[in-house]
Every structure is written in C-alpha cells, then in structure tokens.
C-alpha cells in the first residue's frame, strides 16, 4: 500500500509541474502571418515585419474570455509601456475566431496589443504550443524572439502569473547584451 501511495504521489507531483515548450532557446522562430485584431480593428500580422522593428513577445493562450487568459491579457496590457521601452512588440495567439478576438482585443487587451486567430492551429503546431490535455486549444506558452528570429526565451505554464515578468526579464537581459 505504501508503494502504491508513493507511485500515485509521484505521478501527481509530475503532473503538477509545468510543461516545457519544445522549441528550444537558440532555435529559429517559424515565420507566420495571421489575421489579428488590435483595438477591434482587423489586420494582417506578420512576424517578419514585426521583427524588423525589434524583439517580439509571442504568447499563446487557451481561449479568450476565460479566467486565466483574461488575467494574462490584463497583465500584458498593463506592461505595454515597459515592452515599448524595450523596443518590443507583443502578440497573443489562440484558436479563437477573429470575431471573438475583435471583442477580446478591446475589452481584455485594452486596445494595447494585438491578438491573432489561429483557428487551424498552424501557428500553435509550428511552435509546439498545443495544450496536451485538450489539443484544440493552445497551451499557455510565451516566447521571446529577437530580430534575427532566434528564440531567446521560452516559458510554458498554465498559470498566467509569471509570463509578463519572465518575458520582460528576458528582454532586459538581451537588451543589456545588445545595446541599441
């Protein structure tokens, strides 16, 4: 019985650990374009174009208007001045359709950064950001990508609390090594 409880405890502890994104630091980020909304206005987001301006924080989230995704969107919106000061663009990606994201970009993203529709999961799959326990959704994964397309930071955790702080720290480290 003790051995059984130990095995169950180990399995539960392993399941509680955050999953790690498969695209590793140092890998080249896959380029993509996607229909996106910023402040309720729809446009075509291009990662290549964004990278010409500076680093990009690409974050995946499971679904608009859910509790964790709303918290995360608010956190990113509140930090946008810090991202801009570091020359960074932020883009959120989920499986939601563009009609939903038009609303989400205004209410939860507070018209501060765009969110892109990945209804066919092409971007999620390219970045290995599919939620393992429910593959129609994105996992909560954040990447920091620098202008040469190198991924310098990746973080996967369904808890939204550290994504903004962690990506800002990664950008600050990179900036200190690559003064503009």
Domain ranges of the chain: 18-177
User: What mean pLDDT do residues 57-69 have?
Assistant: 96
Q: What is the rounded radius of gyration, in angstroms, for the C-alpha atoms of the chain?
A: 17
Average pLDDT over residues 70-92: 97
The reported pLDDT for the residue numbered 58 is 98
pLDDT at residue 11 tops 80: no
In angstroms, the CA 52 to CA 36 distance is 18
pLDDT number for residue 135: 93
Q: Give the per-residue pLDDT at 45.
A: 98
CB 131 within 8 Å of CB 138: yes
2: pLDDT strictly greater than 70 = no
CATH superfamily of this structure's domain 18-177:
Glutaredoxin (3.40.30.10)
Distance CA 111, CA 10 (A): 44
pLDDT digits (tens, 9 = 90+) for 26-45: 999 999 999 999 999 999 99
pLDDT at residue 19 in the model: 45
Mean pLDDT (whole number) for 107-135 = 96
Q: Which is higher by pLDDT, 140 or 17?
A: 140
Whether the CA torsion 55, 125, 100, 60 is positive or negative: it is negative
- Band of residue 178 on the pLDDT scale cut at 50, 70, 90: confident
**Cβ-contact 24, 138 below 8 angstroms:** no
- Residue 180 has a pLDDT of 53
Point out which residues pair with 90 in neighbouring strands: 57
């Amino acid at each position: 019985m003790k051995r059984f409880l130990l095995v169950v405890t180990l399995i539960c502890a392993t399941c509680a650990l955050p999953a790690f994104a498969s695209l590793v630091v140092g890998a080249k980020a896959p380029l993509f374009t996607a229909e996106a909304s910023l402040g309720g206005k729809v446009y075509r987001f291009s990662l290549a174009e964004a990278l010409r301006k500076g680093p990009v924080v690409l974050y995946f989230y499971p679904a608009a208007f859910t509790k964790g995704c709303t918290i995360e969107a608010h956190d990113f919106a509140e930090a946008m001045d810090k991202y801009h000061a570091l020359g960074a663009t932020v883009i959120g990606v989920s499986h939601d359709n563009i009609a939903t994201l038009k609303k989400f970009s205004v209410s939860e993203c507070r018209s501060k950064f765009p969110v892109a529709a990945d209804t066919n999961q092409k971007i999620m799959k390219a970045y290995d950001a599919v939620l393992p326990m429910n593959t129609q959704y994105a996992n909560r994964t954040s990447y920091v990508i620098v202008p040469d397309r190198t991924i310098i930071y990746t973080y996967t955790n369904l808890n939204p609390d550290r994504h903004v702080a962690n990506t800002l720290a990664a950008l600050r480290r990179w900036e200190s090594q690559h003064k503009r």
